[in-house]
Amino acid sequence: MPRPLQPSARLDLRGTPCPLNYVRTRLALETLEPGASLQVDLDAGEPEQMVSEGLRGEGHAVSIEPHPQAQAAVRLRIVRRG
């Protein structure tokens, strides 16, 4: 099974309130080239929903998986739209 591509950048926004987590994610995406990926760790629930829906609405590809070390968190993998 092929390994997922390494992200171009990473953010740990666990504990960061909405909408600040969304704003910080968008700012980080703006620094990346189209097609580059960003890994973002977020609290599960509302932060996960608000950030992922907002980014998908802007045309970015977003996948969500459980955080490997934190039960109440998720890991988003975002590919900046081209």
Domains and CATH numbers, the chain: 10-79 (3.30.110.40)
In sequence order, the β-bridge partners of residue 22 are: none
The whole-angstrom separation of Cα 32 and Cα 9 is 8
Task: Give pLDDT tens digits along the chain (82 positions).
Answer: 444 578 999 999 999 999 999 999 999 999 999 999 999 999 999 999 999 999 999 999 999 999 999 999 999 999 999 8
DSSP SS3 for 13: coil
Query: How many other CB atoms are there within 10 angstroms of residue 1's CB atom?
Result: 3
Contact status, residue 35 vs residue 61, Cβ threshold 8 Å: no
For 20, phi and psi rounded to 5 degrees?
-60, -35
